[in-house]
Structure 1
């Protein structure tokens, strides 16, 4: 009996050790594309608590924190983590979905609605992996490219009045125009306003929905029952690019000197982190020198921000207006 017990114990120990080894291998083999958004969300939440941050994911404070992190890696402790690439991918998707879901910031209740909306939409992708989301983004970009190729004849140039656009940017880069809603992700909203002030005509849908996702439209308007209706292309970074490049030429590069060489005053510029598949920020080219661009934008308010001084992003694209 004693020998049987010892033999059984040995077999159990061997099986347990084998199981541990399998788990270790599985963990070692797990790549970026295998992590789910839910796993990364929990990592972010645990980190915020460990560092004494009192805000929750989805709050206005969290959104400000994410914007600063994407722009300049402001939290150096977070930026030093081995899994920072996963967190940046999560942040990129968060900002994209926030810009789609949030309502105009008319009062405190609408801010609450925005927080609830972004949490609901982020929870729906808890079980989606980064790899699966990458494929979804690539499929959408391919579809946009097909629409552009089949519908375009020649590229338009000189489409806006630079003086009028500059005057608008100067007037409202800091003191927001009360005729428009203000969003926590206001960068693309402001770029659209500048383009419209420079003479680019809105393309308005007859729909009375708050959000129209068809990127052939580009507008914001008052609705009969109150509030504003908008196209996604008016306020959402990739949707604006999709709309504009149906008639305007786009250009992308990881080289700042190449972007400067190809850009001109009046163009739109967008930014993407190296660990995110999403472009998450839009600005407008206020002026250009031989070796730099000066950019206007919202979210972080600027009239003439130095392009060369922006450090957080690694890929850039412009739309030639």
Structure 2
């Protein structure tokens, strides 16, 4: 199989701290690989090795068949990188920033300006192209940073927690932009600690914890690790949530989560569709109208807790090479 990038057995140590302990990662062209894990798990270290910013202490990595150590200069021609913090120059305008980066990447002046205008339009910054970046909001700077990472049409773009610090609305905007990066066959390496972000964007996910990959697969396949499905019932009349809990307990044969103010949930094993249909029938027979009724797979948060025993917000004991 042909991979846009591939890493095998990556090891990286910072003094007595092992940031990576034999990490394997790979992504096919035109896809998004999500690397999911808490701060300090090793995500940023893996990105920096693939981006030729760090040399591994063991293992190997390639980008489109080029070794990231022996052929680093050629690899840099193929990749774009957006780190955790905006790297644009605040004293320049958005247009000046992108033209400068384009010129550094070897584009002719006219080509750099044309490409900059294209990126500014694509990322919703065209009307503010002539403003100094010092006057931009955090969300605007983040979008400009994403545009800067794409100015050279990279075959592989590494996005290291690209939506950190963005409010939910801006995060949705960034998601749409990230999805667009694969339209022309580009490949995205996305690190994140947001479970919903990985679920929404990634074709495949690698779960990393304490420097090691502990699971890989599609979002749907990983959700199967946690097992079963969950039925959620929210009666239109909150006063009937207790009755709904009795029905859900009888159908699932499992204890339901303690009813909240107006919602009750229960895990179901085996044929979730049959259990869901039976729940619908019993609710109708009891005359319980619902505002919400759903059958869902486990969330990635539940998967992560199943795999690690903790959530993605936990801070491991060791820092990730001072760049978690």
Q: Work out whether the TM-score is over 0.5.
A: no
TM-score class normalised by the smaller sequence = under 0.3
TM-score (norm 1): 0.20
- From the two aligned structures, give the one with the greater helix fraction: 1
| More contact order relative to length (CA 8 Å, sep ≥ 6) | 2
- From the two aligned structures, give the one with the greater strand fraction: 2
